[in-house]
Amino acid sequence: MTPINTLPAGAKYSHVVSRFTAVVVSVLASCAVHGRGVSPYLPLHLSPEYARLVERVMVLADQPIITRPIAAAAVLDALPAACELDAALCVQVRRYLSGYMKTVGISHASLAVAATSSERTALPNRHGMPSDSGYEASIMAYWQPSDYVLISVGGLAYEDQAV
């Protein structure tokens, strides 16, 4: 009498072979879809001069800006098409983007001073900053140790609070 759990000779290792095949296919598929890494974003409140330059590059390259913030890599990808049409624009935008293509850097720093009154109200879109704050300071720095890691740190301070 044959035992109940006996498998035919060819079926003994079929599950092992199918699992091994699945692992090999997964590894090969992940190698084929190799990403190009992370990209820093341009600031949301870009100065009007540079915002116009970046928007012009994207329009000349026929890549409309649909979302904000804009990835620096997207602008860099659009530059070759824009350079064919406007070389001076290309030089200006490349110079601006060079600040974002370093390993470490400060992408934004600002200090604002204001005269205040005695009336205290929260200002809209200012992270709870009251109207009687005499100053506002902000800074944003980044560190990109590899193509796939980007660490960004920022801070905002005004008279009553620092974030």
Q: How far apart are CA 106 and CA 139, in angstroms?
A: 8
Domain span at residue 108 reads 103-163
Query: Domains in the chain: how many in total?
Result: 2
| Boundary-marking domain end, from 55, 75, 101 | 101
- Residues 93 and 43 grouped into a single domain: yes
Write the pLDDT tens digit of every residue in 74-123.
Answer: 999 999 999 999 999 999 999 999 888 888 988 889 898 877 776 766 66
Specify the pTM: 0.56
- Residues 94 and 111 grouped into a single domain: no
| Boundary-marking domain end, from 101, 117, 147 | 101
Write the pLDDT tens digit of every residue in 32-83.
Answer: 555 667 778 888 888 899 999 999 999 999 998 888 889 988 999 999 999 9
Judging by beta carbons within 10 Å of its beta carbon (0-12, 13-18, 19+), is residue 84 exposed, middle or buried? exposed
- Residues 59 and 82 grouped into a single domain: yes
- Residues 147 and 111 grouped into a single domain: yes
